[in-house]
Amino acid sequence: MARSVNKVILIGNLGRDAETKFTPSGVAKTTFSLATQRRWKDQQTGDWKEETDWHNIIVWRQENVANYLLKGKQVYVEGRLSTRSYDDKDGNKRWITEVVAEEVILLGGARSTEPADESSQQPVSMPRSAQRAPAAAPPRREPDASQGVTEDDVPF
């Protein structure tokens, strides 16, 4: 059987305050944009260049998380890619790719010159969706003495 993986991990800064809306059935949908940056050295000029990518993030069933997701805050987002289509006001078909977040963790405050208070020093975590079943723990194996590496040493 073939395996597939759809996993996204991002660390970036919020481009706007998060916004929560509710579906007609009362399910909370929080959305925000996240900026990630990459730097590289131009091989021809030797100058450093920077590029910013913007990501649309969706968080389901977490109505209180928007209170913490404010413009400029640095966050860790873990989730999956989702692509969907819609028809715009002129009847043209448009495609959008979004990250459906399963975990969001506040990492720090906005980039500013103001000193941070003690409450902003601790990361705040949004729990994974309650609808998600916990993963079964893999069976514990005895370490192979000749290698000296156990499953606990593998970071994933």
Tell me the one-letter amino acid at 29: K
The pair of structure tokens assigned to 38 is 């990459």
CA distances from 42 to 11, 35, 37, 50 (A): 24, 22, 16, 10
- pLDDT tens digits, 72-113: 999 999 999 999 999 999 999 999 999 999 999 999 755 544
Q: Which residues on neighbouring strands pair with residue 86, listed in sequence order? A: 94
pLDDT reported for residue 121: 41
Percentage of the residues of the chain whose pLDDT score is greater than 90: 56
Taken in order 147, 150, 151, 156, the sign of the CA dihedral is negative
pLDDT at 124: 46
Contact 6, 80 (CB under 8 A): yes
Predicted local confidence at residue 154, as pLDDT: 55
| Contact residues for 85 (Cβ-Cβ < 8 A; gap 6+) | 93, 94, 95, 96
Contact between residue 57 and residue 101 where contact means Cβ atoms under 8 Å apart:
yes
pTM score, whole prediction: 0.64
Arithmetic mean of pLDDT, 32-38:
95
Question: Are 101 and 11 contacting, i.e. CB atoms less than 8 angstroms apart?
Answer: no
Q: Is 147 or 41 the better-scoring residue by pLDDT?
A: 41
- Confidence band for 131, pLDDT divided at 50, 70 and 90: very low
pLDDT for the residue 109:
54
* CATH class of the 8-153 domain in this structure: mainly beta
On the question of pLDDT at 16 being above 50, the answer is: yes
d(CA 101, CA 34) in angstroms, rounded, equals 12
Q: Give the model's confidence band at 150: pLDDT under 50 very low, under 70 low, under 90 confident, else very high.
A: low
* HSE-up of residue 92 (Cα within 13 Å, Cβ side): 4
